[in-house]
A and B are shown apart, each in its own frame.
Chain A
Amino acid sequence: MGKYTLIITEKPDAAQRIAQALDGKGKPKKVEENGVPYFIAHRDRELVVVPALGHLYTVIHERGRRNYYPVFNFKWAPRHLAERGAKQIRTWIETISKLAKDAEDFIAACDYDLEGSLIGYCILKYACENKEGVAKRMKFSTLMKSELERAYEEPLPQLNFALIEAGRTRHEVDWLYGVNLSRALTLAARRWSGRYSTLSTGRVQGPTLRFLIGREKEIRSFVPTPYWEIKAEVEIKKSTCEVEYERKRIEKKAEADAVVRACTDKIGEIKEVGVRKFHQKPPIPFDIGTLQTEAYSLFGYTPRRTLGIAQRLYLDALISYPRTSSQKLPPIIDYKKILNALSKEPAYKKLASKLLEKEELKPREGAKEDPAHPAVYPTGNLPERTLSDPEKKVWDLVVKRFMAVFGETAIKQSVKIRLEVNSHNFFLRGRRILKEGWMQFYKPYARAEETLLPPIKEGETILLKRVMRDDKFTNPPPRYNPSSLLKKMEGLGIGTKATRADIIETLYNRGYVTDERMVVTDLGFDIVDILSKCAPRVISVKLTQELEKKMERIQSKSEKRENILLEAVEQLKPQLEQFKEKEGPIGEALSNAIKRARMQERIVGGCPTCGTGTLMILFSRRTRKRFIGCTNYFKGICKTSFPLPQRGTAKPMGKTCSSCGWPLVRVQIRGRRPWRLCFNPNCPLKEERRKRNEMQNLQ
């Protein structure tokens, strides 16, 4: 190879796409060195496209021991120096450094956002030896050939240093908070109990857990109050319809009974028929948050899963860059071209053609903007490989949402009929769609239920067929789920679009929350309790919001990195000193919480033999073997026990056997698929399986 241009991308898939798009023949040469792939393409000159593996560099403690805090001295260093299991990063950096030596020009082609800009900058600065000042920047929102070619032909003359500075600051501030607070928690517990367990909190994680706890407290101390509703049915022209009573809630039982008595078997008169037309505007384009929320409500995918799927679809050049906060679709993306391309897919042909017949295509847009990328939209490319079911669903959702935003306003009609019975008013409601508009493009995702009413006129009389009192209670506030929590974090302005989903996942991984409807564990309560006593500022939502705003200002060059770092250190210092002073009692509280959490993890369910004990996964002191035993054994009441496989891990599933109703245990042995174990020796399923096996053996 002679002199060439070195193009740096964020991931191997992106490198391949970019090399294919820029190579004159569309067939770049793939080279692999020590397991690191890169691509050689020929265009106006030789191009070497080399990928990163996400972040190759990270913030680490500059000097000193690992088991110490506070630490405020840090530096940027290769990731393999900071993380176990990141050995391949060393060869990756060595390969890039080697390629950089013979390169004449440098182009950063990582994703155009905070993280992507920082990834490119670190590689250019450290692996390529200070080339960050001379490198150019390719800016694109999709991995389509035409857009990549344009981005290459017209690169930005230099890196976006404001974005890089903002990214650097965020990483450094997060490191200062994360490493100090997590070390403080972990060390306090370890010094007390002598046992190690990972405890963590962070700048965003702490406040997030805190407002989850606020909700949990409301739910756990909730006392419902009763109220009553009146349910009634009428028969109109041989069809039965439900009617609503004029008061949605009746606070006194006696009053509700009086209404039932007054209206049962009475004939009512139609006093008023009100018809109202209303318009429903098309939805707005997806930013990452609304895509995650919609995918959760439609398919039950967690925000992190949706982001992962969207990222894969982006790398396949099927959709635009998903980590965007924009709800705008600028005309430059060429709506017609995309629709024309989509019409080649039979499922979208009819819908795309309908939109293409329109004289002007104007999307309905939302208010949010992102200077780096437009809203999420389909590129028009069709899949080159067979997509998995979830990928198909998310792609279909993005395509249909894109088409729906160009649709016309839907027109619906609502009918409200007032029925007077013995001086009490009941209402009959109907709803129908007069004009589908955008809804035809967003099927089956648009909610389009219709309630058709039989024709009816004022003055007609109707028999109230059934009137009954419905006993109700006020409900506690709902628990957060990963999607509603993500929305809440977005609303509060804490975390970024790229990090929120990971923070929610960490709360699960650390054992601070469980279940899809997020339940805070005792450990979660204890962590926040300790932090609110010793370091209240680090779990303050308000302070996190303020810090987020300041960090955003770095992007517009109205705030300096140094000021923010100094402020973070000044905030942390006194809190950590206070923490250290109380390390003993904190360690005790944490160790007890960890012990309780570990015990909780081993509870299988109620004992079916004695009915009062609890079945737990226990270990025999004599043989050291594990088994399931009843806690009443220690009181000399119950000797129930069941064997467990000794290899691999065994964890209670929190579910019961569909056949016998006994609790299930999940067993996982490395290299094998996990299985559900029903430990009931008399489970009918086992008997069936035994008979089936016998039959097979006989045959």
Chain B
Amino acid sequence: MKCRICNKEAVEKYCELHEKAYRSIVQKYEDWKRAMDISYREYLNEILKNSYTGSWAKEVVEKLMKDGDR
């Protein structure tokens, strides 16, 4: 299977590098929810515009938002 973002060999949905970013996104949502009480969609929006978010994480967020995926 190919990575949904970069077409490299996929581990699950994504390649090894984007998968790492995806896991980080899922894991950090709990912190954001506790801190600001926001929805998953709002959370994705917030991290997409945040300058500290890494480039692979942003690519995953864009893909998630486009596909309406979790």
Binding site for B on A (CB under 8 A): 217, 219-227, 251-254, 473-476
Contacts and interface: CB of A to CB of B under 8 A. Distances in A.
B17 A253 contact: no
B35 A223 contact: no
Nearest to A254: B37
B36 A220 contact: no
Given A221-B56, A222-B24, A253-B36, 6 more contacts: A220-B55, A220-B56, A222-B57, A223-B47, A223-B57, A251-B31
Given A223-B57, A251-B34, A476 B52 contact: yes
B63 interface: no
A217 B24 CA distance: 12
Interface residues of B, number: 21
B52 A222 contact: yes
B50 A219 contact: no
A224 B17 CA distance: 17
Contacts of A476: 52, 54
A253 B25 CA distance: 20
B52 A221 contact: no
A223 B53 contact: yes
Given A217-B20, A252-B34, A253-B35, A225 B56 contact: no
A224 B50 contact: yes
A221 B24 contact: yes
B2 interface: no
B47 A224 contact: yes
A224 B36 contact: no
B24 A223 contact: yes
Contact of B35 (A219, A252, A475): A252
B70 interface: no
23 contacts: A220-B55, A221-B54, A221-B56, A221-B57, A222-B24, A222-B52, A223-B21, A223-B27, A223-B47, A223-B53, A223-B54, A223-B57, A224-B47, A224-B52, A224-B53, A225-B28, A225-B35, A226-B35, A226-B36, A252-B34, A473-B52, A475-B52, A476-B52
Per DSSP, are chain B's interface residues mostly helix, strand or loop, or mixed? helix
B53 A222 contact: yes
Interface string B2-40: 000000000000000100110011011001101111000
Given A473-B52, A474-B52, A221 B34 contact: no
Interface string B32-70: 101111000000000100101111110000000000000
Nearest to A253: B36
Nearest to A256: B35
A220 B32 contact: no
A595 B21 CA distance: 26
Contacts of B28: 223-225
A363 B17 CA distance: 51
Nearest to B43: A223
Nearest to A216: B54
B35 A220 contact: no
A217 B52 contact: no
A476 B50 CA distance: 12
Given A473-B50, A476-B52, A221 B20 contact: yes
The 7 closest A-B CB pairs, nearest first, are A221-B21, A220-B54, A224-B52, A222-B54, A223-B28, A225-B31, A220-B56
A8 to B, nearest CB: 53
Contacts of A217: 17, 20
A350 to B, nearest CB: 48
Contacts of B32: 225-226
Contacts of A224: 28, 47, 50, 52-53
| Most chain B beta-carbon contacts within 10 A, residue among A221, A227, A254 | A221
A596 to B, nearest CB: 12
A251 B24 CA distance: 18
B52 A227 contact: no
Contact of A227 (B35, B37, B55): B35
Contacts of A222: 24, 52-54, 57
Contacts of A220: 17, 21, 54-57
A223 B56 contact: no
Contacts of A226: 32, 35-36
Nearest to B31: A225
